[in-house]
Chains A and B, each alone.
Chain A
């Protein structure tokens, strides 16, 4: 699935994000936005753009459901409109505090053919659980995203250790690619870093969200 941003797609193997496997996004609130944008792309399916040439809730493509498995209940749906997820398109399961609940829900969702994309807000996924999720996603081609929000980190700590800590602490085994997205000064800018990608090289960009046409 191409991201619609040529500079990034060029780096990714196969010219886009692989469906049917798990990707990890870590970072501050920008990672939430990134996941929302990817979900919207998974739903829209066809070419177009989320970042950049944004086509919010395009009606093209096969219909399907988007699931957000939230740890708390602070996800605010009106904010997602900007990233292409319209009202009523997202199913939110909230309050999944326990890790095994979260993993079970994610696996069940990945096995469902009618689902297009799943976001799970969780921190660490072990080797066995990661493999299970991968197998579940493989059969159906669902986009699985693991969003690890740093607790209380609205502000990235740029104290010289922060980057290493994030890179090392990425705890999702079996993720095909690992992203770190942080807010960057200037209104709507993000710093998107591809930390790890199977078959690709790490890279870093600064993206700016254009207003939807």
Chain B
């Protein structure tokens, strides 16, 4: 016990940081990436001079050239016209840096079969952190060889290097001797110093002007930098060379940011023979779900989001994602969710690898039920589960944002009084606390909208402008109450509305009765606060509408600031109040 406790201190690691987790970085440099990537689709471009060009100052400049082109003297930076003078039938394609980066990212995703921690770097390098993964492939050499074989199969030239830091691996891949260039593992800073000493300073991933500046001082090898005080370097060249040197030597940490965040739970299968029939995919998924649910069950957790990634024989990958409204680890509903989407997996020539991962995991609160399946609170847990399954199916097909449970919101403005509580999978069915029945079933809170105010069944959004005919043109109807929250102004017989009728969609509606006004306002702290007087209007046919007028005068006769029905919409400055239709009653 005591030995364990003192072990890190004895090992000499700084107590503040704790023992450093060892890393082993495999850098894969693809020197001809832009051209070889394009040449995969054009076999003739492998053996024939082939360049990509980019426009610069109205000239076409070679951006990348393939090995045959380099052999005859074409090089990046050369104008295309000169290149054509040398090789008249050179194959030319436009340069596509974004496409290069995207393709490199795809390659990085493919490479996660060797290690989950893969990062594409710059234009043409992949970093793979293979610490802990080597034993699956039979050692470092075997892993390196198998990566090389696979990349060469793709028609790519690659230089590999192994070191304990990304910086050193990059330097060895680009400038190191030997193939692959290997720096000894676990040798620490001094070992890395030995490995890098003879390399040019450009191997430190320096920008061109810094590298040139160092060379001008005669500092052409990295070993020359070891003897110079870093303060001197910083004074002349800025932080860059010092930072890069310290990164390469492992003095400061350079993280590998994996493309794919490491999922907490994962299950995977690889197939000797590729599968493509939906039945087989389903059977494989079934097995994976068994594994995953078992693993989740051990830790008392459930998945909120699952990704099914299918690796195809041709290197393509398809990912299908499902979400759930509550943590789940039962196989049947999960299978049902995937079943809806499995047709999105296009097997192509076949699938040889299938990975099921969950990246959002939550603890499941177990519910105690009695023998009849009824839990405390009188609701049936089975019903609850069934409803949640239904919502999951709906949510995965239509998007969880489309499912909502409208709940009251404290606002007088009608369009803000009923935000739906949907939007996230969580709120659709999720419990407030364990004590409350987590319920799609029972009202979650006692709060309700006031019943004494009539509200329409349908709310038009945005409000529809209508032409209103009032008793005196341009004048608001005689208001019976103008305070903040007025009662409904008497019964409909009493109020004498000035509104006689309105025109909507080319039809004239003659008003039979109108109740109001009910003045509704926005919160005072909102700048564009509209001030509306609402009327419940019934036309002669018996249809009931919710109209409001905006820009009504106060008793003092001052014009209220107008606020449009839509934010940011410039309103014509008119003195006459404007009428809008906002809702329809039953």
Contacts and interface: CB of A to CB of B under 8 A. Distances in A.
Interface string B43-76: 0000000000000000000000000000000000
A185 B457 contact: no
A163 interface: no
A176 B447 CA distance: 37
Given A88-B445, A187-B538, A115 B451 contact: no
A88 B429 CA distance: 11
Contacts of A82: 451, 454-455
Contacts of A78: 408, 414, 417-418, 449, 455
A125 interface: no
B458 interface: yes
A82 to B, nearest CB: 7
A79 B443 contact: no
Contacts of A76: 414, 418, 455-459, 583
A29 B440 contact: no
A28 B457 contact: no
Given A81-B448, A88-B444, A212-B451, A112 B457 contact: no
B227 interface: no
A96 B394 CA distance: 11
Nearest to A37: B586
A114 interface: yes
B461 to A, nearest CB: 7
Contacts of B544: 29, 183
Contact of B391 (A81, A91, A183): A91
Contacts of B378: 63
A105 B398 contact: yes
Given A105-B398, A183-B543, A65 B441 contact: yes
A122 to B, nearest CB: 15
Interface string A62-78: 01110000000111111
A33 B407 contact: no
Interface string B394-437: 10011000111111100000100110110000001000000000
A76 B409 CA distance: 13
Interface residues of A, number: 59
A36 interface: yes
Nearest to B507: A155
B541 A88 contact: no
A81 B586 contact: no
Interface in A154-213: 154-156, 158, 182-187, 189-190, 212
B455 A114 contact: no
Contact of A79 (B439, B444, B455, B545): B455
A36 B408 CA distance: 18
A53 B441 CA distance: 24
Interface string A93-118: 11110000100110011001111000
Given A115-B390, A189-B542, A190-B586, A88 B402 contact: no
Contacts of A108: 390, 393-394
Nearest to A36: B457
A114 B454 CA distance: 31
A79 B447 contact: no
Contacts of B382: 113
A87 interface: yes
Interface residues of B, number: 65
A30 interface: yes
B460 interface: yes
Which of A63, A76, A94 has most chain B Cβ within 10 Å?
A76
A77 B420 CA distance: 9
Nearest to B452: A211
A141 interface: no
Contacts of B467: none
A182 B389 CA distance: 37
A90 interface: yes
B566 to A, nearest CB: 16
B492 interface: yes
A41 B301 CA distance: 38
Interface string A3-35: 000000000000000000000000011111110
Given A114-B383, A158-B541, A80 B457 contact: yes
Interface of B: 378-380, 382-384, 386-387, 389-391, 393-394, 397-398, 402-408, 414, 417-418, 420-421, 428, 439-445, 447-449, 451, 454-461, 492, 505, 507, 509, 512-513, 538-545, 583-586
Given A74-B459, A91-B403, A183-B544, 13 more contacts: A57-B443, A65-B387, A78-B414, A78-B418, A81-B449, A87-B448, A88-B443, A91-B404, A101-B398, A154-B543, A155-B543, A183-B541, A189-B542
23 contacts: A30-B586, A64-B383, A64-B441, A74-B461, A79-B585, A87-B407, A88-B421, A88-B443, A88-B445, A90-B406, A91-B428, A92-B404, A92-B405, A92-B420, A93-B403, A94-B404, A95-B402, A105-B394, A114-B440, A114-B441, A154-B545, A155-B509, A185-B542
Interface of A: 28-34, 36, 56-57, 59, 63-65, 73-83, 86-96, 101, 104-105, 108-109, 112-115, 152, 154-156, 158, 182-187, 189-190, 212
